[in-house]
Amino acid sequence: MLRQSQQQRLLQKLSPQQIQFLKLLRVPTIEMEMRIKEEMEINPALEYNEEVQTQEDDIYKTNENDEFESLDDASLKDDDAEKIDIDDYIRNEGDDSGYDYSGDNEKNSSFSIRYEAGFHQYLLDQLSMLYLDEQQIKVAEQIIGSINDDGYLAREVNAIVDDLAFGQNIIVSAEEVVDIIKQIQTFDPPGIAVYTLQECLILQLKRIDQFSVAVKNAIEILEKYYDSFVRKHYDKILRGMNIDDSQLKNAIASILKLNPKPGLAFEGNSQNNNYVIPDFFVDNNEGVLEIMLNSKNAPELRISEGFKEMLTTFEKGEKKDKKQNEAVSFIKQKLESAQWFINSIKQRQTTLLHTMNAIVTFQRQFFLSGNETSLKPMILKDIAEMTNLDISTVSRVANSKFVQTQYGTFSLKYFFSEGITMDNGEEVSNKEIKSILAEIVSIEDKRQPLRDEDIMDILAQKGYNISRRTVAKYREQLMIPVARLRKEN
């Protein structure tokens, strides 16, 4: 039996501007300029405002006496943002809606960071080294397009075959695809175009000195004892390969030097060769911390004067047929979309600076000293409460964003860590404990290296009561081998 009933429910619905804002919030500086250019290509009503002067409001200064003002998320939920009255906007001749929001370009220019061509373009440039015909080049391009940012193939061979058949009308066999994949695996960086970490590491080792005993042992470990290696069943490896602890230690050291995600650092395995563009700059000006937003995050955008004049001309026309009405509707839609985009950019800038200001305020001692042990335990909730923003909003800001300080460039995620309570009731960051753990190991007697239980006891004497399992976890995160493999004669 069918029945009809009425229900009243309260639902939260995101406006188009909110959706656009949340998408923009995730975008790091390195991609922001490209995102703006894409928007300008599809919306001729949007243009750069070249007349904008630098404003000092772009600089946030924090010190220990400042009162922190929270940013209410309500500003991002304004119902008025859902529909913009373009007619009123056009009629207001004095309206300055370009949001003149620029960074300190002179300051930021001194922090110029190099940015190289993308990973996939780097691989495509190497195709010329292969002897391929026109069809094979297209197959190779399809394979490279199927490699994710980490350097691994994201599509199975049969799926690539289908992609070529349906997408480009190219008929190839799985064997032909595999053959070209093997050729791409010879490209730099070593270890790309594979499906598993095991393959990735083996490929890298095979590009190293093949006469090295340590490298040969490392390859054998990965090829024949991979599961035992992952589970740290070193006794089984020692028995199976008939090698001693010293040889095992050298082989594992060779493996630990490899890059598990070669695509993220295709210029080399050294961390110094990875180039990033910082989203923020923090300067210590005699104890006053100044926060600046990268000027690429603060573009000078405005509504096109030509589009505004065009709309005014159409509206003043006496006769309006169907085509003219459609033209007016199109122009209004583009103007509205442009205004939404400008609003979203401004909200993004405000939210980025406000969140960064909260992080600097919370971790003030670190930004003054650069000492990792001065980092306080901090989670997303702490910053969300300080800024009155949602945790998901803070997470979007922290994701893929970097800050440049006088002590180096750091990911915003670096400043977030769980806390551990000491004997005296004080809460400390696990980064502080890791730093002390690394120091303990660095000064140990290598002839009798400390076991995890010994390290646990030393930490307890310093007031850090953590379990042996936690010690082992932190040691592994620091890539410090077990005591047996640290032993030296």
Tens of pLDDT, residues 324-343: 777 777 878 888 888 888 88
Q: Do the Cβ atoms of 297 and 30 come closer than 8 Å?
A: no
The residue that leads in pLDDT, 269 or 305, is 305
The residue that leads in pLDDT, 271 or 468, is 468
Which residues partner with 285 through β-bridges?
Answer: 288
Residue 241 reports pLDDT greater than 70: yes
Instruction: Identify the band that residue 68 occupies on the pLDDT scale cut at 50, 70 and 90.
Output: low
Show the CA angle centred on residue 72, arms to residues 71 and 73, nearest 5°: 115
Predicted local confidence at residue 199, as pLDDT: 92
Q: Rg (Cα) of the chain, in Å, rounded?
A: 29
Token digits of residue 102: 């620029």
The residue that leads in pLDDT, 221 or 273, is 221
Residue-by-residue DSSP string for 229-284: HHTT-HHHHHHHHT--HHHHHHHHHHHHTS-S-GGGGTT-SSGGG-----SEEEEE
* Separation of alpha carbons 208 and 205, rounded Å: 5
Residue 62 reports pLDDT greater than 60: no
Map out the domains of the chain as residue ranges: 16-105+281-368, 119-265, 418-486
Q: Which CATH number fits domain 418-486: 2.60.40.4070, 1.10.540.10, 1.10.10.60, 1.10.3720.10?
A: 1.10.10.60
Predicted local confidence at residue 77, as pLDDT: 43
Q: Do the Cβ atoms of 422 and 428 come closer than 8 Å?
A: yes
Predicted local confidence at residue 179, as pLDDT: 93
Residue 184 reports pLDDT greater than 50: yes
Residue 218 reports pLDDT greater than 80: yes
Q: Do the Cβ atoms of 433 and 459 come closer than 8 Å?
A: yes
Predicted local confidence at residue 143, as pLDDT: 92
Residue 369 reports pLDDT greater than 60: yes
> Max alpha carbon distance in the chain (Å)?
97
**Identity of the highest mean pLDDT range in 80-84, 89-93, 97-101, 377-381:** 377-381
* Separation of alpha carbons 338 and 49, rounded Å: 13
3-12, 123-132, 453-462: which range is least confident on average? 3-12
Predicted local confidence at residue 267, as pLDDT: 44
Instruction: Identify the band that residue 43 occupies on the pLDDT scale cut at 50, 70 and 90.
Output: confident
